[in-house]
Amino acid sequence: MPIRAITLDLDDTLWPIWPTIVRAEQALHDWLMRHAPRTAKRYPVPAMRRLRDAIASEQPAIIHDFTAQRRLTLARALADSGDDEALVEPAFEVFIEHRNIVDLYPDAAAALARLSARFPVAALTNGNADLSRIGIGKHFVFQLGAREHGVAKPHSSIFHAACERLGLQPGDVLHVGDDPELDVIGAQRAGLRCAWLNRDAGTWQFADAVPDYVVRDLHELAEKLDEITFSP
């Protein structure tokens, strides 16, 4: 069957996520140093991360919602430190502004333009990136996040929800992502085809689940899809 649309992971697929988060957390800490110094002193970046992890463990209902986790973490940190909890929203805005300043992989921009010129491309993410803030929203027909859907990848329902919005059956859709379990196995279990974006030349560890495609970058994926689509 021909591929009629693509769902695309974002973090560690279009950009490396960890440098982005490190910068955003540092920007937040610097802001807290100016506006809530007691919180900044009590919760430097490593302590704020530990608090967020603790809140995620305490609140399984929001395990899929990183935005809610961040807001609750800020509220707890400000309250613990005796600072004004009204600072939660402006503090979170600092974090999310910098969380959406990303360094695209070298292949990503050109390949995304190439893919989106031929296929409807939908973003399917567990994270809280905002494509309009990042400036690449024009390449996507929509963005579906775990926060909005209510559960995260690899749950089949988020893949099925994306297919429904595309107006296609799962077998018509190719999901592309870097994570073997969240992206590849999750997509396969939901009935989608899948491409493993293996930027680090890793070894596939799952004998009972084989990706339809294994590519080093999105440029290689675009090349492979061209070969399939245009081969006589």
- Count structural domains, the chain: 2
- Is 151 found in the same domain as 134? yes
Give the model confidence (pLDDT) of 45-64 as tens digits: 999 999 999 999 999 999 99
Helix (H) or strand (E) holding 194: strand 193-197
- Is 118 found in the same domain as 193? yes
C-alpha dist (Å) from residue 113 to 163, 172, 220: 21, 21, 14
- Residue 229 confidence class, pLDDT cut points 50, 70, 90: low
| Per-residue model confidence (pLDDT) at position 230 | 54
- Residue 228 confidence class, pLDDT cut points 50, 70, 90: confident
C-alpha dist (Å) from residue 45 to 40, 42, 52, 75, 128: 8, 10, 11, 15, 19
CATH number where 126 lies: 3.40.50.1000
CATH number where 87 lies: 1.20.120.1600
Q: Check: CB of residue 187 under 8 Å from CB of residue 17.
A: no
- Is 222 found in the same domain as 164? yes
Alpha helices in 63-125 (DSSP H): 66-81, 88-99, 108-118
- Is 112 found in the same domain as 88? no
Q: Give the mean pLDDT of 205-211.
A: 91
* Predicted model pTM: 0.94
Give the distance, in angstroms, between the CA of residue 219 and the centroid of all CA atoms in the same chain: 20
Is the confidence at residue 77, as pLDDT, over 70? Answer: yes
- Residue 227 confidence class, pLDDT cut points 50, 70, 90: confident
- Is 168 found in the same domain as 60? no
- Is 117 found in the same domain as 62? no
Taking only Cα atoms into account, the Rg of the chain, rounded to an integer number of angstroms, comes to 19
- Is 214 found in the same domain as 161? yes
Q: Look at residue 76 and give its three-state secondary structure.
A: helix
Q: Look at residue 53 and give its three-state secondary structure.
A: helix
Domain end, chosen from 99, 118, 146, is at 99
| Per-residue model confidence (pLDDT) at position 232 | 42
Domain coverage including residue 188: 5-16+104-230
Domain end, chosen from 81, 99, 117, is at 99
Give the model confidence (pLDDT) of 81-119 as tens digits: 999 999 999 999 999 999 999 999 999 999 999 999 999
Domain end, chosen from 56, 75, 99, is at 99
- Is 176 found in the same domain as 112? yes
- Is 109 found in the same domain as 76? no
Give the model confidence (pLDDT) of 149-206 as tens digits: 999 999 999 999 999 999 999 999 999 999 999 999 999 999 999 999 999 999 999 9
Label residues 78-89 b or e (16+ Cβ within 10 Å = b). Answer: beebebeeebbe
- Is 66 found in the same domain as 79? yes
- Is 123 found in the same domain as 203? yes
- Is 164 found in the same domain as 72? no
- Residue 231 confidence class, pLDDT cut points 50, 70, 90: very low
Residues contacting residue 57 through CB under 8 Å, at least 6 positions apart? none
